[in-house]
A and B are shown apart, each in its own frame.
Chain A
Amino acid sequence: MNPSLFSPEGLAEVIFLILIGTTILGASIATLSKRLIRSVIGLAICFLGVGGLYYFLNSPFVAMMQLLIYVGAVCITMTFAIMLAEPDDEKASRKYKSVSTWAAAPLGGLIAYGLSRLAIQGQWLAPAEKINSGSVKDLGMSLLNEYSMVFELISIVLLVSIIGSLALARVGRRKQ
């Protein structure tokens, strides 16, 4: 049942666990840290783990994009924003004292327990051995065939967010 640690399957499992651990560790740092800049670093670590998971799921291209866009661009932009805004660390420190925090912890735990029980007991489909090679070509083919409408719609969504942020930024600047 349990493959030996040094067989290919065993090693794959170890790598998988490391990736999951990285993701969870990064997410915990991002949420628990009291300084904003540390949260961003935590987020970067989390994205790193997620990128590894994509690679594990046989999509090297998406994994690479995850690293390039999220770790490389998004987190760096956030760091710049934080450095420019100089948030007051004293104010940013959170207080864990309100009643709702105490109520949220057991509730969150209960939901996590329920979902993990579902995940263990569910009648999931056997994972497909390999759908395609996960190459850029396959990705392009499915983006322009099955997901052509989604592909076009995403471009409109991106356009909306760019125009929206520009319009809002312009209004904000005019006021001051």
Chain B
Amino acid sequence: MKLMLFAPELFMLLGSLLIFFFSLANDDGKKSRSVAIATSIGAIILCFICLNKSGLLFFKAYQIDLFSQLFKLTIAIGTAAVILFSRDLKGIQEKIRPEYYLFLILSSLGLMMLVSSVELISLFIALELSSFCLYLLVPMRDDQQGLRTQMESAIKYIFYGVIATGIMLFGMSYLFGLTGTTYLNELIPKLHTLGSEPAAIAGIAMVLCGFFFKLAVFPFHFWVPDVYQGASNETTAFIASVPKLGAVAMLIRITTLAAPQSEALVTMFVVLAVCSMFYGNLSALVQKDIKRMLGFSGIAHAGFILLGLLTMKDTGYATSIYYIFGYLVMNLACFLVICSVSSKGENVTINDLSGLHKRAPLLALTMAIGMFALAGIPPFVGFMGKFMLLTGALQDGQLTLVILAALNTAIAIYYYLSVVKVTYCNSPDGHEDITVPLMTKTVSIGLILAIILMGVMPSKILAIATTAVQGIL
């Protein structure tokens, strides 16, 4: 049945319509929250049911295949986790909480539609839907200090976003000018026959830039620290994890447009990966605000994901997919702790975590496992991901790059583990105990299990990811 192909998206739309009605009434956010939870969990179930569906919709502009459905499932899971653990939306003003949930749901709807779009214009509009919602989530923070920092970060976010979008559109015009089509399945053979035509490479590179911005790869990373710091904790948790799934999906789709083993693109990926890793890790070393630190660490992780893309093979793409799924759960685990520790929605410094193992043992454990995983310590998912990315790049003959990446892993361990040290070795001195609601406990146990299980048994997910990637090549 054709309806089932579009079921998750339709369900999300329905949910957002309901929240829209609540936003018209005087709702303080409780009802909208229940609807948002129901919508995101329903979307997870529907995505799971529709996982193996395939087909084309909307005049071949919208493709449903294992690749897109896999990403939709994880986007739904990420959204549900963020909504579940951001219990009271402490950082958002009461009056606009319904709108906040509305934008959150619509943003993930945009991402879901993005990963299924196989036509440049649809792809662009779906991306814009998700970005517009994110731009609006940032300034919705409650201005507690009266410094209006959230406005500053929102402006920065919009400006960088607009520039990245402009570059992407310009690149799309090149691709259209060379081939006369906007459909990806027609673009692939035409661009492959063009081979190493400079205009084609430049066009693809410029389209990639739009998604580099979303993933926060090196030259497009300037927004990261300020937006992470200025946005409320819940918003940052979402921006730091879920849109990156869509970005990786689209980076893979766009990279497949290039002729295999295109030297110029591989060089570009290598340079960007090295710059992102060094910039992210070295800047993260000196951060005191934990959200800023995670922001810089996100830049470094984006560099690692490029290691999988630059092999331009199905196994490399599959490892990138595995890594970004792992990054989603590791990052969400850390942000769950940040959101719970922050009592009134204020930013959390690393020192605020002192003695967390006495104040809230489960949160401390979640933070420790999240940090170990991000640092790449076995048996967690971060280790397996990094290990496979490095071996993949090594088999591709990128010895120097692998050495530099391994060096970066070593640098990163320092700042991740110092957070663990603060949570476990320092005394609570003065910080109050934290009561963790049952819902948050459930989510955090779920995330811990996901981090461990994905790390211990990577083969199953890798196999699914490889099949998914082979479907779009």
Contacts and interface: CB of A to CB of B under 8 A. Distances in A.
Contacts of A115: 202
A160 B132 contact: yes
A122 B57 CA distance: 34
A167 interface: yes
* Main DSSP-derived SS at the A contact region: helix
B23 A123 contact: no
B96 A156 contact: no
Contact of A164 (B58, B136, B174): B136
B266 interface: no
A61 interface: no
B349 interface: no
B103 A164 contact: yes
B433 interface: no
A11 B414 CA distance: 69
Interface stretch (B46-54, B191-199, B238-246, B415-423): B191-199
B62 A149 contact: yes
A125 B95 contact: no
Q: Which of B59, B140, B177, B199 has the most CB of A within 10 A?
A: B199
B225 interface: no
A114 B140 CA distance: 41
Given A124-B177, A145-B59, A168 B140 contact: yes
Contact of A123 (B113, B125, B135, B199): B199
B129 A171 contact: no
Contacts of A128: 180
Contacts of B202: 114-115, 118
B334 interface: no
B139 A168 contact: yes
Interface in B97-118: 99, 102-103, 106, 113
Nearest to B20: A163
A150 to B, nearest CB: 5
A175 B132 contact: no
Nearest to B132: A160
Contacts of A168: 136, 139-140
Given A149-B61, A167-B140, A156 B106 contact: yes
A163 B178 contact: no
B178 A125 contact: yes
A175 B125 contact: no
B91 to A, nearest CB: 13
B93 interface: yes
Nearest to B136: A164
A133 interface: no
B179 interface: yes
A53 to B, nearest CB: 13
Nearest to A119: B199
Contact of B121 (A147, A156, A157): A147
Given A122-B197, A150-B122, A167-B136, 13 more contacts: A122-B178, A123-B199, A124-B178, A146-B59, A148-B58, A148-B59, A149-B57, A149-B61, A153-B126, A157-B129, A160-B132, A167-B96, A168-B140
Interface of A: 114-115, 118-119, 121-125, 128, 145-150, 153-154, 156-157, 160-161, 163-164, 167-168, 170-171, 174-175
